[in-house]
């Protein structure tokens, strides 16, 4: 979280108590957000990223498996629970708040939800969008699931991402079995269609991976991302640096 000294202390502690290490606030005044029960939209959002198990992510470079499907469901469920709890806490403190469910596809025609979690995350400065049309973070690569809580709580916001850091890497594009990635670079305002053929992606998953959440899981493009693999490598090096007992 950027500018943590200016963030309400109760919120920083709330996140810390729940083991949420990557989160931030986004200014959404220039966006249309879902509305509350009174029809009012929100000017801010709290964006949080929960990491996936890196070993499981490493293991789906050739395609999803049951371990990944279970992890996907587990992390989404955790995000939804945390989001509901945070909405209650914000409301208890006199603020309006609304949680955006994780991976909830409400528009089946255009294959999207009520608001892009990635937009809140990039506006909060958590990361940028890679060529695989997913958020990439410095801390966990793209091996994360995202949560978004809209609110009217005025809070110091992160610095929005303005560029990508994928360089010339096209590993995700090359690995996509559906050939759904165009290889385009993300910048704020670039349409999703410039980066991803969402229909080709969706159709491939339904035809080949229907056993995993009715074809909503794949993850190959994320699994091969060097930023995720770098996190796994760091973890292995950390383990090797710890001396065994008796040494």
What pLDDT was estimated at residue 103? 84
Q: How confident is the model at residue 237 (pLDDT cuts 50, 70, 90)?
A: low
Q: What is the mean pLDDT of the chain?
A: 93
Interval 73-81 mean pLDDT: 97
Interval 196-201 mean pLDDT: 98
The pLDDT tens digits of the residues spanning 181-198 come to 999 999 999 999 999 999
Domain boundary assignment for the chain: 4-235
Interval 72-100 mean pLDDT: 98
Cβ neighbours around 42 below 10 Å, total: 22
The pLDDT tens digits of the residues spanning 19-29 come to 999 999 999 99
Q: How confident is the model at residue 245 (pLDDT cuts 50, 70, 90)?
A: very low
Q: Which residue has the tokens 């209650």?
A: 88
Q: How far apart are CA 120 and CA 129, in angstroms?
A: 12
pLDDT for 247 beyond 60: no
Counting residues of the chain whose pLDDT is more than 70, the rounded percentage is: 93
DSSP string, 184-218: PPP-TT--HHHHB-HHHHHHHHHHH-TTTGGGT--
CA dihedral 108→122→51→19, nearest 10 degrees, is -120
- The percent helix, strand, coil of the chain (3-state, each to 5) is 40, 15, 45
The pLDDT tens digits of the residues spanning 49-62 come to 999 999 999 999 99
Q: How far apart are CA 23 and CA 158, in angstroms?
A: 9
The pLDDT tens digits of the residues spanning 169-178 come to 999 999 999 9
What pLDDT was estimated at residue 242? 47
């Amino acid at each position: 979280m950027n500018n943590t000294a200016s963030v309400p202390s109760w919120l920083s502690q709330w996140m810390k108590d729940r083991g949420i290490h990557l989160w931030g606030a986004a200014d959404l005044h220039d966006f249309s957000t879902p509305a509350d029960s009174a029809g009012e939209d929100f000017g801010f959002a709290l964006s949080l990223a929960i990491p996936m198990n890196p070993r499981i992510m490493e293991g789906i470079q050739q395609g999803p498996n049951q371990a990944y499907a279970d992890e996907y469901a587990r992390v989404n469920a955790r995000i939804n629970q945390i989001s509901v709890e945070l909405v209650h806490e914000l409301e208890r403190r006199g603020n309006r708040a609304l949680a955006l469910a994780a991976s909830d596809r409400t528009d089946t025609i255009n294959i999207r939800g009520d608001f892009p979690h990635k937009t809140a995350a990039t506006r909060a400065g958590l990361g940028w969008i890679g060529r695989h049309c997913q958020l990439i973070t410095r801390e966990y690569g793209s091996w994360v699931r995202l949560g978004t809580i809209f609110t009217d709580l005025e809070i110091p916001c992160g610095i929005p991402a303005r560029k990508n850091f994928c360089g010339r890497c096209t590993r995700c594009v090359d690995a996509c079995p559906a050939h759904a990635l165009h290889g385009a670079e993300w910048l704020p305002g670039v349409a999703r269609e410039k980066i991803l053929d969402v229909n080709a992606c969706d159709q491939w998953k339904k035809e080949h991976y229907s056993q995993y959440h009715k074809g909503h899981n794949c993850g190959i493009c994320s699994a091969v991302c060097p930023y995720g693999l770098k996190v796994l490598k760091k973890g292995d090096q950390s383990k090797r640096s710890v001396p065994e007992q008796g040494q």
